[in-house]
Amino acid sequence: MRDKVSVFYYPSMVAEQATLKKAILLFDEIHFIDRPSFMFGNFGTIGTASPMRQVEQSFRNEGVPLYVHQPQGGPVVGEFLEQVKSDINDIEFLRRFQRGLDDSLVFRDQQIAHGNYGEVGNHEAVFRQLLTVNVDTDFSEAKPDELLYDKSLKPFSFGTPTERAKALVDQATTCSAMVNFALNASQHQGVTPLADSVVYQRLLGAKYVRAAASANAIGESGSAVHLTDLSFAILDELVPAERLEQLRFIDVVKYRKESEEAREAFLEHLSTCTPSKVRLPTATIPGLSRKS
């Protein structure tokens, strides 16, 4: 008998409609979190309640186990902080993060909130400034984690190459925090990380390469396939995107109920053929409990 597939959507507070519809059709439980308040020195994120809180009970009433959790925020310390530092000090991680901003509009919108950023302009102007950073040369004077804690450099300043490099590090830091939060939750809470952009797979790939290198096992395992990624890929082949867009959520929930046996068989088969994943070192991050 297969294990329950509980997925944890981590890129932001709410998923794209297409992602949520796929998750409803496929998975046993769907978990979201409010936007955490993570602090790194004088830089951090502002906690915000997820819009999914307005609909979680109605989904559960219709038989879709959907939960929104309140993460424990505050200063990032200990093993969690070391995980983030390892990411941002990895030039390949920074390179993939920067390239992801250019490759994926979904990823870009998740990382750079829409709005006015003062002298630099709007979010698109911030994006263009971040693309000018040369990750191979602009960190020769200071390591990325040193720039993160450099109080002489103000957040969202783009006048010099060093300021732009710090801005890229700041953005990559908040992304890394969410990726590591999701990985830790997957290890300790029995949930599977879920994202809707291939960029997250690339970032995880950079982490797997480091993990393999630290174990003296560098080979072809530069990435790993999560059950969520594989099942989405199969569903994308079977159901045209335009058809999924036309479906109302009430229709998606109805299809879930009517196709319960087929969904069970699909996940049962998938659980037997999903490649094993590299286990990364984790630390317990409180705040993602099984209770809503």
For residue range 154-184, list pLDDT tens digits in order: 878 899 999 999 999 999 999 999 999 888 8
Taking a C-beta distance cutoff of 8 angstroms, is the pair 139, 165 a contact? yes
* Residue 5 or residue 231, greater confidence: 5
Q: What is the pLDDT of residues 117-131, one digit of tens each?
A: 888 899 999 999 999
Say which residue the tokens 């569903």 belong to. Answer: 235
Tell me the residue ranges of DSSP E strands in 164-213: 192-194
Rounded Cα distance between 252 and 240, Å, is 14
Residue extents of the structural domains in the chain? 6-273
DSSP-assigned letter for residue 39? E
The closest of 35, 38, 45, 27 to 11, measured between CA atoms, is: 35
pLDDT-based confidence at residue 210 (cuts at 50, 70, 90): confident
- Pair 106, 196: CB distance under 8 Å: yes
Q: 105 — phi, psi (to 5°)?
A: -65, -35
Angstrom distance (rounded) from CA 39 to CA 174 = 9
Does 209 have pLDDT greater than 70? yes
Cα distances (Å, whole numbers) of residue 148 to 58, 125, 207: 42, 21, 20
Predicted confidence band of residue 238 (pLDDT cuts 50, 70, 90) = low
User: What is this structure's pTM?
Assistant: 0.80
pLDDT the model gives residue 8: 92
Give the tens place of pLDDT for each residue, 54-71.
Answer: 999 999 999 999 999 988
Asked if residues 73 and 178 have their Cβ atoms less than 8 Å apart, the reply is no
Q: What is the pLDDT of residue 27?
A: 92
